[in-house]
Amino acid sequence: MCGIMGYVGNKEAVPVIVEGLKKLEYRGYDSAGVAIYNNGSFEVIKRKGRLTVLEEALSKRAPSGHMGIGHTRWATHGEPSNENSHPHLGEKEKIAIVHNGIIENHRQLREKLERKGVSFTSETDSEVIAQLAEYYYRGNILETVIKVVNTLEGSFALGVMCLDEPRLIAVRKDNPLIIGEARDGMYLASDVPAILKHTSQVYYLEDKEIAVLDRSGVEFFNMDGEPVSKSPETVAWSADSAEKGGYQHFMLKEIMEQPKVLRMTIDSALCDGGKNKAVIDSIDIRSYNKIIITGCGSAYHAGVVAKYVFESLCGLSAEVELASELRYRNPLIDGQTLVIFISQSGETADTIAAVREAKRRGAATLSIVNVVGSTIAKETDYVLYTLAGPEIAVATTKAFSAQLVLLYILAARFAQDLGALTGGGGTLAEVSALPDMVESLLADTGKIQQFAATCVGYKSIFFIGRNVDYAISLEGSLKLKEISYIHSEAYAGGELKHGPISLIEPDTLVVAISCCQRLAPKIASNVEQVISRGAKALVIGCCTDYEEGVGDKLSAIKFARINELFSPSLSVIILQLFSYYVAANKGLDIDKPRNLAKSVTVE
Ligand code: F6R
């Protein structure tokens, strides 16, 4: 939520910052702005709307200067408007800030400053930071920032500039911030893709650390102003991986990258020398009597699939719960519980809170994350990395698929250790076959494209399945609604008759997943029931007798037979393509769906 970009160095700051903000736009796109330091003053240009609106303004009059901060906003306090856009200046225009996060005591601070005569120009919680900094400033910006952040309650990643001391100050608490080091200057960003074009040398700012950047380097301090020593890490992602590479949308590019991503992730978990393998080998599952899996959105859906897989392969109780629920419950978690946290970004606020709650209760914590150096990766006992590379489209695809394969491998390894799986090699071989199977599905997208073209007019689409097919229906439904804005719901097939069937009428579509042989007749009955009530149906899967093709009432897309436990990795490819092509036919902004941001760092 909200992207921060900053630069100080030899180059003109505006193009560097705008280029970086483009890579961060997935974090919010309600408004954008820059503040550039030049010859003792700040020039601030900010605009409501997408980054292109700001770019247009900058094309008419781009401020010149070699140091600046920029921001792309996901509105929380105050509607999207020019005034509420960042950067914010203090009243005397001496201090400029950009903020990602939420200041919970902003009202009290604002009232206090207003009583002292300070007048505000926006409705945001963030402006209070700039006003407070100016109010406290006595000639030392580092001391001022320390004083300000000790007054703030809530979460923040901040970029700060002060006219009297031309340096960039960065500070983080519960929101990500990285520093990039290059010959031509120093970079500050919310996420790695923003700086990949310039450097692979990155410092990950820890919670409550401050960085002071000038064109020759960076120094780090703690909240007491004491120096902290840090070394840069080399980022493995290439600059190309954050580009569209000829595809119309990042989402399609990321869907197509899945065979490669799955191969790399599986190799790392199975091959000797693989980092994920070393972590899996170090976990003694016999120390635990229960597994709890948690995450938000799609990550939670990967957990729902995993529940079936863990219980089926390991014979071990596995619960799955939304992180936003788990964190506020009184969960039965203790030292004998292994809690698995799934998160692409590693920065989702609810999942971080759940990590902290589980640790407080003495559980062992294992995370599956995509972003190295992220908060969840840092705070959990064991970390498995999905090797998906940067995922830019807001709707997750390749990271989700990589989460699934790591969960399968984890379950198979646990099952071997528990003696529940003999001949585990065969099971792992089935997982290893997935990348090729995904590749052949992606080689022919004609039928799903043809079918999706007929779906633009639907008001409501239902997804049904049983067992793992139900788990993956949840993901299919979320994917569709978030990028196509068509209302959709997922139901366990057996639940249809308990209520949802009353919504079935001629202008509804039911997508049924059928990959579990023993449940295929049940799903077929569900399909017949909805068709006889006027709905149209699409059946996806490897266990169905329906003939493949796009028909008037009934269509079917089939793929090769596979162990049902791992079939979600194939069904999801069809579901992702379906959502993508429906949204593409509607001409929507697929990579940046309305109201959404990729990294949900606020509650
Ligand atoms: C849906 C989607 C979201 C995320 C959710 C969790 O396509 O991307 O539902 O899965 O916001 O995000 P992470 O995985 O970063 O914790």
For the chain, which residues make up each domain, given as ranges? 3-241, 251-442, 444-590
- pTM of structure: 0.90
pLDDT on residue 423? 65
Q: Residue 75 pLDDT > 90, yes or no?
A: no
Residue nearest to atom 7 of ligand 1 (CA): 395
pLDDT at position 386 is 98
Give the residue numbers marked as catalytic.
Answer: 2, 598
Q: How far is the CA of 599 from the centre of ligand 1 (A)?
A: 7
Return the residue whose CA atom lies nearest to atom 11 of ligand 1: 297
CATH 3.40.50.10490 is the classification of domain 444-590: yes
Region 497-513 average pLDDT: 91
pLDDT tens by residue, 174-213: 899 999 999 999 999 999 999 999 999 999 999 999 999 9
pLDDT of 414-456, one tens digit each? 999 998 877 666 799 999 999 999 999 999 999 999 999 999 9
Q: Are 100 and 4 in contact (CB under 8 A)?
A: yes
**pLDDT score recorded for residue 190:** 95
Q: Domain 251-442: which topology?
A: Rossmann fold (3.40.50)
CATH class in words for 3-241: alpha beta
| Residue 162 β-bridge partners | 95, 165
Atom 9, ligand 1: which residue's CA is nearest? 297
Query: In the numeric block, which tokens belong to residue 133?
Result: 């900094």
CA gap 202, 243 in Å, rounded: 19
| Identical fold between 3-241 and 251-442 | no
What are the structure tokens assigned to 534, written together? Answer: 């006027």
The C-alpha atoms of residue 405 and residue 400 are separated, in whole angstroms, by 9
Q: Which atom of ligand 1 is least distant from the CA of 345?
A: 15
Candidates 348, 407, 472, 484: which one to mutate for ligand 1, based on the most atoms within 8 Å of Cβ? Answer: 348
Percent of the chain with pLDDT over 70: 100
The minimum-distance atom of ligand 1 relative to the CA of 399 is: 14
- Encode pLDDT of 555-593 as tens digits: 999 999 999 999 999 999 999 999 999 999 999 999 999
Nearest CA to ligand 1 atom 3: 297
Q: Token pair of 595, please?
A: 């109201």
Q: Pocket around ligand 1: residues whose beta carbon is below 6 Å from it?
A: 295-299, 343-345, 348, 351, 395-396, 478, 482, 599-600
CB within 8 A of 57, min separation 6: which ones?
A: 45, 47
Contact 349, 601 (CB under 8 A): yes
In this structure, the number of other CB atoms found within 10 A of the CB of residue 142 comes to: 18
**Cα–Cα distance measured from residue 188 to residue 202, given in angstroms and rounded to the nearest whole number:** 10
CA of 297 relative to ligand 1 center, distance in Å: 5
Asked if residues 350 and 377 have their Cβ atoms less than 8 Å apart, the reply is no
Tell me what pLDDT residue 271 has.
96
Per-residue pLDDT tens digits for 453-468: 999 999 999 999 999 9
